[in-house]
């Protein structure tokens, strides 16, 4: 079961996203700000992060920058989920390595599609282990 971290300073947004993704069969972790998100990522190793941009303290762009600067989290797929749909933030997020970008309010099915696509892309990019039988016969 994939684990998704939802990061937003508004509890109602976190809960709405959690409900959508739990219905898809995902395990959900939550964080209310960027610092808490970094702690959860370090301890729980989620498969995908949904990250708001506008948060008090460390905003989503700074959180994304820190994630991508760390070797252990640099490949972690991050989807920005934000009310800020301006091109400047989208460009910054893309430059920092965001996987996708969803603007609130999202369309039905949009978040699920982005998360599933990120999970699929991450599994394709992950190094494949040799099957045990092939490793033994080599």
Q: What ranges do the domains of the chain cover?
A: 3-137
In this prediction the pTM is 0.87
Neighbouring residues of 71: CB distance < 8 A, sequence distance ≥ 6: none
Class of domain 3-137: alpha beta
Q: How confident is the model at residue 134 (pLDDT cuts 50, 70, 90)?
A: very low
- How far apart (Å, rounded) are the C-alpha atoms in residues 82 and 104? 5
Give the orientation angle of helix 60-69 with respect to helix 87-96, to 10 degrees.
Answer: 20
Q: How confident is the model at residue 137 (pLDDT cuts 50, 70, 90)?
A: very low
With vertex at residue 93, the alpha carbon angle to CA 58 and CA 125, rounded to the nearest 5 degrees, is 110
């Amino acid at each position: 079961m994939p684990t998704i971290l939802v990061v937003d300073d508004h509890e109602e947004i976190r809960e709405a996203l959690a409900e959508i993704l739990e219905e898809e069969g995902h395990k959900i972790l939550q964080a209310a700000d960027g610092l808490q998100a970094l702690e959860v990522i370090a301890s729980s190793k989620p498969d995908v992060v949904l990250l708001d941009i506008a948060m008090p303290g460390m905003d989503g762009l700074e959180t994304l920058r820190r994630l991508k600067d760390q070797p252990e989290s640099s490949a972690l797929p991050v989807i920005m989920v934000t009310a800020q749909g301006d091109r400047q933030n989208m460009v910054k997020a893309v430059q920092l390595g965001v996987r996708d970008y969803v603007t609130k309010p999202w369309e039905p099915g949009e978040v699920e599609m982005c998360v599933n696509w990120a999970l699929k892309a991450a599994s394709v990019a992950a190094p494949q282990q040799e099957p045990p039988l092939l490793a033994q016969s080599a």
